[in-house]
Structure 1
Amino acid sequence: MKNWRVVRNPAEGLALPDDRDQRDLRQPFSTEQLQAIFNAPLYTGCQNDEEGYAKPGPNVTRRGRFWVPLLSLWTGMRLGECCQLRVDDVAELEGVPVIFIDDAGEPGADEADKKRVKTEAGKRFVPVHHELQRIGFLAFAEEMRGRGEKRLFPELKPDSLGYLSGPFSKWFNDKRRFLGKLDMEVKGVSFHSFRHNYRDALREAEIGLERVRALGGWRRDSDGEEAIYGKGLKAATLYREIEKVRYAGLDLAHLQARN
């Protein structure tokens, strides 16, 4: 169709049914896998965060490759939501440090600058977990603001379709690249596994469903009439809830804020 050889695609809309259990298709990382990820040279010292990310060295470069996995683990943000963040998305709301997640881009923005969310429920704000604050995320955002940057991770480049998450996904998930270079089994896990870890952590914290949906941007399958009333949960309320998120056995003490 793109090359004008046919006028319609006869296979459009057709697909084989997938009767596999969704829980079997997407797994959270185990504690051992999380520890391996955040003990990789990228987090403990590498040559650089580009081609030298897997080679031990003196540098811990705090850019997209460093922060995006941590953001997903502690906020449940999808990969695309992390990669597209703008500096102004990190702000205060009612005295609480939050990250705004939406699809509002600048007028006339090109494909790389367009923001996307998966569903309407994905438009939300998420308080910045204290562990991200401890590691220095808010200071990083302020540093990027001081540089006059518009995007939080300006070094991330889009693929041919304009998605910033495309190249990152290939780098992180490829068995020959980041995950594949770690001493761990990578079958059944991918970047999206962080979001499954986050959902399990919310369950373990016994956080109510309405607040879980607000913190993760999950769609409401069914709501009563009462759901349309009010303005939603306050930032301080969600901050108290997200502070309950823990990952038992995961030690990130080596990730310290810069002085």
Structure 2
Amino acid sequence: MAFAAISRDACRGVLAVLRKLPPNARKRWPDLSPREVAAQAEKQGVEAMSVANINEYMNKLSSLFNWAVKEELIHRNPACGLRIVETQMARDKRLPFAMWQLQRIFDAPVYRGCRNDENGYACQGKNRPRRARFWIPLIALWGGLRQGEICQMLTSDVREIDGILCFVVSATEGDGKRLKTAASYRVVPVHPELLRIGLAKYVDDRRRAKDERLFPDLSEDSLGLYSGKFSKWFARFLISCDAISDRTCFHAFRHRFRDGLREAKIDRDVALTLGGWTTSPGAGAVADSYGQGYSPKLLYGAISTITYPGLDLSHLHTQPIDG
């Protein structure tokens, strides 16, 4: 269809389909068209993608038409302003973990001593394994990384840059990783608390074992995501340690990290760069080109000031690391 033949009604039709499409629609129904997927999802009662994602798709469509207008292929943008009005404030969607929740999470058997970190993670025991279920919540709290970013990490994604151990959040063609936005590409220095708990040793152990993946005990789900099975486990884990509450889930670590940045009075551009919320002028996407944006030293100085008063993790500082 020629650009000039696309009407505003057609763009409204695109928005109507998007409102019914679930996340990962192509993977769930690879042989169906978007309209067919929307109909199937509605029939099965599958929850649609978020309003933010829908609007992001419409923004991209509108940007394409803006380009066509500049190139004089069309006279107006038929998708201009088409979006869903967000009626719920972002702060009302999810909450950060409260201190009582963090205390219960990190006092659970998987952090104090459990039977094992598989089916026996909620049972007190003598074993203290440090694998995915141990590290991923800690990295989310002290590094602000998204669940998917952590679960898909390779051992090579944790490395020294200018003498500072950092998480390199990136994705390249063929590595099986995916990121939410362009701003997600970033370097995040490892917080001193993670160093005290022994993250550097864990990474060295994975390298000595020649593990390509940082968390080799995680496996892909049916959608090819390393975070899928972990996400389901974490929901059960919150119930097991009585830390569940309305409007909190794994993403609440990221909200708590953002509050930690605010309370530490970190410069806003630096804070947004650390969290991958935006790429502001001068900040840059530094994951693959370390000469751009803020230096690891500056970022380390900023992230090191984050504290969570009332949260005592000293019981993790000298824990032996099992297999």
Q: TM-score range by the shorter chain?
A: 0.7 to 0.9
Give the C-alpha shift of residue 148 in structure 1.
Answer: 0.7
1:116: Cα distance to partner? 1.2
- Whether 1:190 and 2:249 are equivalent positions in the alignment is yes
> Measured at CA, do residues 247 and 4 of structure 1 come closer, stay the same or move farther in structure 2, by a change above 3 Å?
closer
The two structures have a TM-score, normalised by structure 1, of 0.87
Structure 1 residue aligned with 2:270: 211
Higher CA-based Rg: 2
Q: Which moved more, 1:137-146 or 1:15-24?
A: 15-24
- Aligned residue identity for 2:212: K
Q: Which residue of 1 aligns with 2:81?
A: none
How far 1:25 moved relative to its partner? 1.4
Q: Secondary structure at the match of 1:255?
A: helix
| Aligned: 1:53 with 2:121 | yes
> In structure 2, what is the Cα distance between the partners aligned to 1:155 and 1:183?
25
User: Identity percentage over the alignment?
Assistant: 44
Q: Moved runs in structure 1, 4+ residues, more than 4 A?
A: 1-7, 10-18
Compute the RMSD of aligned alpha carbons.
Answer: 2.5
Cα distance change of structure 1 residues 227 and 83 upon mapping to structure 2, 3 Å threshold:
closer
Tell me the secondary structure at the aligned position of residue 212 of structure 1. Answer: helix
**Amino acid of the structure 2 residue aligned with 1:252:** L
Quick one: distance in 2 between partners of 1:167 and 1:66?
15
Q: What does residue 172 of structure 1 align with?
A: 234
> Deviation of residue 20 (structure 1)?
2.1
Shift in CA distance, 185/8, structure 1 to aligned 2, threshold 3 Å: closer
Pick aligned residue for 2:148 from 77, 80, 94: 80
CA distance in 2, matches of 1:180, 1:7: 36
Aligned to 1:99: 167
TM-score scaled to structure 2, two decimals? 0.70
Shift of 1:250: 0.6
Matched with 1:64 is 132
* Structure 2 stretches lacking a partner, 5+ long: 1-25, 40-47, 52-83, 285-290
Q: Which has the higher contact order (CA 8 A, sep 6+)?
A: 1
CA distance in 2 between counterparts of 1:8 and 1:48 reads: 46
Q: Is the 8 A contact 1:180 1:186 kept in 2?
A: no
Question: Per residue, is there more helix in 1 or in 2?
Answer: 2
